Chains A and B, each alone.
Chain A
Amino acid sequence: MLRASGILISAVMLTGAIARAQPAPDVPIAPPTGAGQPQPTPPPAHPPPPPPDMGQAGHGTGQPAGDEPGQRTDFGDPYAPVKPVTEPPKKRLRPVYMPELLTTPTGFLLPAAVLYSKTSIDTGGGVSSDTRVGLGDVAEFGIATTDGVRQRLDETDVRATRIQPYVTASFRLGIQEDRLTRGQPGVTLGFRKSFERNHDGFSTRIAELTLVASKHLGPNAALHVGGAFWDASLEGDLDGDADTAREEVTLHGLEDVKSQLRAFGGIELRPLPKSQILVDLGWSPEFCYRCAVPGDKIRLRPTLSWGVRYEVAEWMRLESGVRVPDIGDANLLDAQIFGQISFTSRALQRAIEGLK
């Protein structure tokens, strides 16, 4: 019993001596001054959170409290509750509505900094691609290759073939749906222009100015209606006489505005959550190099398309359907079955938001 008491007293005395040797919590530990001095304790792997109101400790001088001689450093209350770190609420991103139905533009613009890419093939041997980027929620710029422009040699050539690739650049600007007033449709004014295309000794160009309005009719339907003002040029040996000079014919040169104006539109329906049915009617230029009638050298032909868009993922869509390049002649033989895949990316948009 006596021995146990001795051990207890020794333990208490030893613990008290160790405790007394420790500095007070608010007294800084002096740095080592030379050899033989005890080495400082390495900093912990995870430093404690800064005490509250550290900025006020130096009284606005930028110096921490205690740097002045004779003044004690204030580390604050180490037991004060730490403020929880809360991230600012994420900005809700606008949904991406497609800038194109199947072949015609819509009144929807890509959101700012959203990238869009579409690649299409069809059973007529057509290959096309379209790459766009949204600019500031009010505009859109894109480069595309289209397989919609067709050619014939003369009146006896009943089968028009496609000129491809036909490279175009496009710029569209507009106003989002419901932006100005409630119920206002999305409206875009677009301009598409091709680079000059040299083919079989003929040079062709096309240009299209479009104004289109798109309106959601409930959550599962949208209607698109627009008008296009077309122009095109054809240059080459148009009379088949090698001795004569090359001449140029333009659509505006026909001086018939009605031949340049066309209405187009389409509808999209969403009967299933990830699937849409799309139908649209658009127009494509057709060049007839040696047609005798000037009005037949450049004509606009109606194209009817219908198909399905299936959203495989938020960033990827598969589209397939049927396109009849010249529905005006009810030519079933020229009907093409197409498949296309489109991607949208918000990576650039997120990067820009991160910089903000």
Chain B
Amino acid sequence: MRHAPTLATVATLAALAAGARGAAADPAVTRLFTAPTAWMTPGGALTASAALEQSVEYRGDGAVMVGYGLGGLASIELGADTEIRTCTQCSEPANARWFPRAAFRIGAREDAWFRGMPALALGLKNTFGAPGFGPFERPRVTEAYVVASRTVGRVRMHGGAMAIAAAFGDLELRPVLRPIAGFELRPPGLPRSTFVGDVAWTTRLEFEPEPSERRGPRLEMMVGGGARYQFFDWANIELGVRVPREEGLANGRVMVRLNGVWELSSPGKRRLELR
């Protein structure tokens, strides 16, 4: 039973490998507003995204990520974001902190194993080299997920599960499983526009003064919704609102994000379309 995660991982990887051959091209956006998708970055392609977020309370939140597609099977991303929040007065909105992040994902594309099969991805995203501050010594967060994505007509649906573990100092949150879901909808007559919505979970690092018991990492549901507009074949812009459940709609964050993808291995040979 102790080795069940190991066996499950190996079995999933073997299954992904079995189905990766002969796959069709997938869109290159690997996440919705918060939730990851199962779309894979094309092999040899460089992806980049930059996001800015603003709420009533805070400014300057965001994310910068750069990724590279490895052979059409996997991708790696490096960057930093403010997904992880910290608070010492946790009845108020939490503070945004920039954390260096790295992500690796491996997957199989739509219809790879059988007709009608959704795209699948197994991924891991973690913090690295994050400096401690105040009571938050050695903060660390790791998210492992399995997600499936499938195109049905004008809608692309996404669903999966995410295990999140977090720690700072001596306080630790053992891996907790949470569902993730989302959709993308292309309205008729607007081929370059997409409505996007998702539900996912982010981490709050809480450390209130005694005698409060709000100490340690907690998970927080994040609901996002907005639109995406593709202004070039290789680039799009997203505009949306993300609402953390703890803080309510009044503290929703407006987000603007730019995504781009470039073929590096054979420039000009294959035109990439970012959808």
Contact = CB atoms under 8 A, between A and B. Distances in A.
Interface of A: 123-125, 267, 269, 271-272, 274-277, 279, 281, 304, 306-312, 318, 320-322, 327-328, 330-333, 335-337, 339
A318 B69 CA distance: 11
B130 to A, nearest CB: 10
Contacts of B5: 327, 330
A216 B129 CA distance: 39
B77 to A, nearest CB: 9
A320 B126 contact: no
A272 B20 contact: yes
A315 to B, nearest CB: 16
B104 A279 contact: no
- The interface centre, meaning the residue of B14, B103, B142, B172 with most chain A CB atoms within 10 A of its CB, is B142
Contacts of B74: 275, 307-308, 310, 320-321
Contacts of B73: 271-272, 275, 277, 308, 310
A333 B102 CA distance: 13
A166 B5 CA distance: 30
A332 B177 CA distance: 12
B274 interface: no
Given A123-B128, A308-B106, A332 B144 contact: yes
A308 B71 contact: yes
A271 B43 CA distance: 13
Given A333-B165, A333-B166, A337-B126, A275 B6 contact: no
A318 B20 CA distance: 19
Name A's interface SS: strand
A330 B4 CA distance: 10
Contacts of A310: 43, 70-71, 73-74
Closest 3 CB pairs of A and B: A275-B71, A123-B128, A271-B20
Interface residues of B, number: 38
Nearest to A271: B20
Contacts of B144: 332, 335
A331 B9 CA distance: 14
Contacts of A307: 74, 104, 106
A333 B129 CA distance: 13
Residue among A124, A275, A308, A320 with max Cβ neighbours from chain B (10 Å): A308
Given A279-B9, A339-B76, 13 more contacts: A269-B18, A271-B19, A275-B70, A276-B71, A308-B71, A310-B71, A320-B76, A320-B104, A321-B74, A327-B5, A332-B165, A335-B124, A337-B104
A328 B4 CA distance: 11
Contacts of B14: 267, 269, 279
A310 B44 CA distance: 9
6 contacts: A271-B73, A275-B20, A279-B9, A320-B104, A327-B6, A333-B165
A269 B6 contact: no
Interface in B117-131: 124, 126, 128-129
Interface string B20-49: 110000000000000000000001000000
Contacts of A277: 13, 16-17, 20, 73, 106
B13 A279 contact: yes
Contacts of A269: 14, 17-18
Contact of B102 (A123, A312, A331, A332): A123
A312 to B, nearest CB: 8
B58 to A, nearest CB: 27
Report which residue of A124, A269, A276, A309 has the largest number of chain B beta carbons within 10 angstroms of its beta carbon.
Answer: A269
A144 B19 CA distance: 36
Interface string B66-93: 0000111110100000000000000000
Contacts of B43: 272, 274-275, 310
A336 to B, nearest CB: 8
Contacts of A331: 165
Interface in B136-186: 140, 142, 144, 163, 165-167, 172, 175
Q: Which of A269, A279, A312, A337 has the most CB of B within 10 A?
A: A337
Nearest to A332: B165
A337 B5 CA distance: 18
B2 interface: yes
Contacts of B106: 277, 306-308, 321
B28 to A, nearest CB: 17
A201 B167 CA distance: 29
B10 interface: yes
Scoring B6, B18, B129 by chain A CB atoms within 10 A of each residue's CB, the highest score goes to B6
B114 to A, nearest CB: 15
A327 B19 CA distance: 26
B256 to A, nearest CB: 27
Contacts of B76: 320, 337, 339
Question: Interface centre among A123, A309, A331, by most B CB within 10 Å?
Answer: A123
Contact of A271 (B21, B140, B165, B167): B21
